[in-house]
Amino acid sequence: MTAPGPRALIGVDTGGTFTDTVVTLSDGRLGVGKALSTPGRVEQGVLDSIGQAAAGLGLTLPELLRRTVILTHGTTVGLNALLTGAGARVGLLTTAGFESTLPIAKANKTNGLDELDLTMPTRWRKPEPLVVRPDIAGVSERIDATGAVVRPLDEAQARTAIRRLAARGVEAVAVCLLWSPVNPAHERRVAELVAQEMPGVRVSCSADIAPVVGEYERSSTVALDAYVAPVVGAYLRALQERLREHGFGGVLMILRTGGGAEPVEQTLRAPVNTLRSGPVAGLAATAGLAAKLGHDNVIATDVGGTSFDVGLVIGGEMQRASTPMVHRHALAIPVIEVESIGTGGGSLAWIDHGLGALRVGPRSAGSDPGPVCYGRAGTRPTLTDASAVLGYLSRLGNAVELDVEAAREAIRTQIAEPLGIGTIAAAEGIVRIATDQMRDLIRRATIRRGHDPSAFALVAFGGAGPQYASWYADGLGALDVVIPDLAAELSAYGAVSSDLSIGAERGIVPTPVDEAGAVVTAVLGELAEQIEAGLPGAVDDVATASGRSRTLRRSVALRFYRQQRRIELPVGAVVDAAELARLGAEFRERYEQIVGVGTASRDTPVEVVSVRVEVTVAVPVPPPVARERGAAEPVDERLAWFDGVEHRCAVYDWRRLRADHEIKGPAFIESEQTTVVLPPRRRARMDTSGHLHLG
């Protein structure tokens, strides 16, 4: 039961440095909050950020939470556990004779390596194993590709294998048997045996997590799920408890790596779906913004405290990864494609003494201790420190007071003097190297896939995106360079505006599209029944809160014969010959749109590889109340350095700018959460919706 007054929707995005919140009220008011993330007690940073947003709306944290009907959260807890090696000790149960599938890793020695390692064969290596070889046990059973039982499950032998894993002290168990996507009976029974022999231990089944064809990818995915599940589960339960203590009685939803959000109960069944959810929220918000601005093709660029993320919107749609990976581990779940490098505001500047060269990233100062200028005992200079020294930043929201002199001293002693250059030159070098790295990633994400970046608009967001967009967009020739209103909190806005989505997918033996009608129709019906039977009560709660009914969406994934790239297309409940012909033609058309004109061979067969059914509930976000805007006069001025020259720069208040007024650089446009840096020769114009366009 919500408290009297305007109802609230909340979106929260937890990053490596800051946690951002966007609150929308049913009366059109909008609030934002930014707080330092709190590693080790992540829920505290979430509450701090929501509390700031509440204060901006004239409410206390309990008052806001009592009015909240839906809180949608993007979390990096699972990803951080993977990156830091802090997950559970996992045992893997697989079909006897296939215990080496995961360790062999399809001889995957190069996928996911950075460009430097790819050029040095001595650095080629497989991904770090999530399951050590002694913690993998074979189970005597066999099911074939048609789902027929070739060898019955030997339950006595399975119990012996499970007891051996228990004796080795495993904390979570992954189960992945051959052809469980077609017939999961043996896998489900093994899970029951694990629950009997190891009560309370997390069990992850590939038939539930990733029921698709591809033995190695399924094994990797279910191992990942088991690895992060205890950590993610502990965090989400702690967050639920803290929210309840402060009066929250609405629905908690968690963002998914494949797009959309799901009730927290659903996430706890498959936490692997959260691993890359944060960047996806920003990309989803970008797609919505681009549609309103009339752009079909968009490059979304997110500069946070620890990373720079790039995703593409093509033809109005976010792109699915054809061979998804996380930290070099293969995934067999839907993943929106986002490429990242370790270049963000907190990226450390350092000297490669072997080459005598200045480097930036990939290591980060994070939020604790953070950049030197945060005054939190940080000692190593970062990209943010360089910006502070150059005069680009005078504040960092309400979260941090900047200590510019400490940043200047760190850059002077650790970078400038060892290189024999001045402090300002060193700071400008840090910014130039970081933004060159960002531009290189954009080029790789577009040109490497056959796309001309000049055919795209570019959207820059994240806390540091507005600071560096003028540099990393330079030379790309983008149709438009947009810094959106709420740029610093766009991922949180993507969270609050994400629709509820609960899906079920099943892989099928690759079948030519013109022969797949019967099997696709049958699987669609089975999946629809499966979803309806297992829907949590929170779905109806969200439907009631949003005033929208449930929608059932059906789709199939197609690919060219034996290719990797899959494209998902919608289908009806019954897939007849006419529908199959449409799918084949639409697949080729969409393939050329994504990969390039002339790439869809008419002679290459198209095959169906998986079937998906999704229940969705739209979450409408009320339009914000229009703000009054004043004259476009500077509110302040300050000195800043560009190309070795100190300039006196006008400072404008973003919230008071008049639409269509043009601002010429060098200048700064500040909001409470971020700063837009306009170097000389750059210009900015605000549109009627409050978005800035750089020229």
Do 567 and 589 lie in one domain? The reply is: yes
Q: What is the distance between the terminal CA atoms of the chain, rounded to a whole angstrom?
A: 49
Q: Taking Cα atoms as reference points, which of 509, 555, 129, 615 lies closest to residue 320?
A: 555
Q: What's the pLDDT at 2?
A: 61
What pTM does this model have?
0.88
Q: Which two tokens stand for residue 556?
A: 């199939």
Instruction: For residue 309, tell me if it sits in a domain.
Output: yes
- Angle formed at CA 284 by CA 283 and CA 288, multiple of 5 degrees: 115
Q: Which domain does 474 fall in, by range?
A: 296-479
Do 612 and 666 lie in one domain? The reply is: no
What distance in Å separates the CA atoms of residue 428 and residue 469, rounded to the nearest whole number?
A: 15
Listed in sequence order, the residues at least 6 apart from 431 whose beta carbon sits closer than 8 Å to its beta carbon are 383, 386, 387, 390, 468, 471
Q: Is the pLDDT of residue 36 over 70?
A: yes
Whether residue 369 is preceded by a cis peptide bond, meaning omega within 30 degrees of 0, is yes
Q: Which two tokens stand for residue 575?
A: 């897939």
What distance in Å separates the CA atoms of residue 15 and residue 84, rounded to the nearest whole number?
A: 15
Do 127 and 163 lie in one domain? The reply is: yes
Q: Taking Cα atoms as reference points, which of 328, 231, 311, 314 lies closest to residue 277?
A: 311
Q: Which two tokens stand for residue 125?
A: 């290596």
Q: Is the pLDDT of residue 49 over 90?
A: yes
Do 378 and 469 lie in one domain? The reply is: yes
* AA identity, residue 20: D
CA 501, 505, 511, 517 torsion-angle sign: negative
Could you tell me the pLDDT band of residue 118, with boundaries at 50, 70 and 90? low
Say what percent of the chain tops pLDDT 70: 96
Q: Are 251 and 73 in contact (CB under 8 A)?
A: no
Do 572 and 533 lie in one domain? The reply is: yes
Do 608 and 656 lie in one domain? The reply is: no
Do 96 and 213 lie in one domain? The reply is: yes
Neighbours of 58 (CB within 10 A): 10
Q: What's the pLDDT at 16?
A: 73
- Across all residues in the chain, what is the average pLDDT? 90
Q: Which two tokens stand for residue 29?
A: 């008011």
What distance in Å separates the CA atoms of residue 430 and residue 410, rounded to the nearest whole number?
A: 13
Q: Is the pLDDT of residue 533 over 90?
A: no
Q: What's the pLDDT at 362?
A: 87
Average pLDDT over residues 175-195: 95
Could you tell me the pLDDT band of residue 463, with boundaries at 50, 70 and 90? confident
Could you tell me the pLDDT band of residue 631, with boundaries at 50, 70 and 90? low
The pLDDT tens digits for 550-605 are: 889 999 999 998 887 888 899 988 888 888 889 999 999 888 888 878 888 888 99
Count how many domains the chain has.
5
Question: Helices 423-446 and 465-472: crossing angle, nearest 10°?
Answer: 80
Residue whose entry in the numeric block shows the structure tokens 């993330």: 37
Q: Taking Cα atoms as reference points, which of 150, 151, 167 lies closest to residue 159?
A: 167
Q: Taking Cα atoms as reference points, which of 665, 661, 689 lies closest to residue 676?
A: 665
What CATH number is associated with residue 108? 3.40.50
509: left (phi over 0), alpha (psi -120 to 50) or beta: beta
Could you tell me the pLDDT band of residue 137, with boundaries at 50, 70 and 90? very high
Q: What's the pLDDT at 114?
A: 66
Return the DSSP state at 262.
E
Residue whose entry in the numeric block shows the structure tokens 């420190």: 385
Last residue of a domain, one of 418, 444, 479: 479
Instruction: For residue 494, tell me if it sits in a domain.
Output: no
Q: In three state form, how does the secondary structure of 540-584 look?
A: HHHHHHHCCCCEEEEEEEEEECCCCCCEEEECCCCCCHHHHHHHH
Q: What's the pLDDT at 115?
A: 64
Q: What's the pLDDT at 360?
A: 94
Q: Which of 35-44, 59-68, 576-585 tops mean pLDDT?
A: 59-68
* AA identity, residue 424: I
Do 470 and 354 lie in one domain? The reply is: yes
Q: Are 297 and 272 in contact (CB under 8 A)?
A: no
What distance in Å separates the CA atoms of residue 62 and residue 242, rounded to the nearest whole number?
A: 11
Q: What's the pLDDT at 92?
A: 98
Q: What's the pLDDT at 126?
A: 82
SS3 content of the chain, % helix, strand, coil (to 5): 40, 25, 35
What CATH number is associated with residue 514? 3.30.1490
Q: What are phi and psi of 136, to 5 degrees?
A: -110, 130
Q: Are 668 and 638 in contact (CB under 8 A)?
A: yes
Q: Which two tokens stand for residue 275?
A: 């691993």
Secondary structure (3-state) at 39: coil
Q: Are 519 and 491 in contact (CB under 8 A)?
A: no
Do 165 and 95 lie in one domain? The reply is: yes
Do 71 and 210 lie in one domain? The reply is: no
Q: Taking Cα atoms as reference points, which of 671, 680, 681, 672 lies closest to residue 692?
A: 671
Do 461 and 340 lie in one domain? The reply is: yes
Do 428 and 346 lie in one domain? The reply is: yes
Instruction: For residue 489, tell me if it sits in a domain.
Output: no
Instruction: For residue 585, tell me if it sits in a domain.
Output: yes
| Distance (Å) of CA 536 to CA 182, 267, 275, 327, 541 | 25, 11, 22, 31, 9
Q: Are 604 and 458 in contact (CB under 8 A)?
A: no
- Angle formed at CA 50 by CA 48 and CA 55, multiple of 5 degrees: 95
- Angle formed at CA 410 by CA 409 and CA 413, multiple of 5 degrees: 80
The pLDDT tens digits for 91-109 are: 999 999 999 999 998 867 7
Q: Which two tokens stand for residue 587?
A: 């697949």
Q: In three state form, how does the secondary structure of 352-373 look?
A: ECCCCEEEEEEEECCCCCCCHH
Burial label for 27, CB within 10 Å (0-12, 13-18, 19+), is exposed
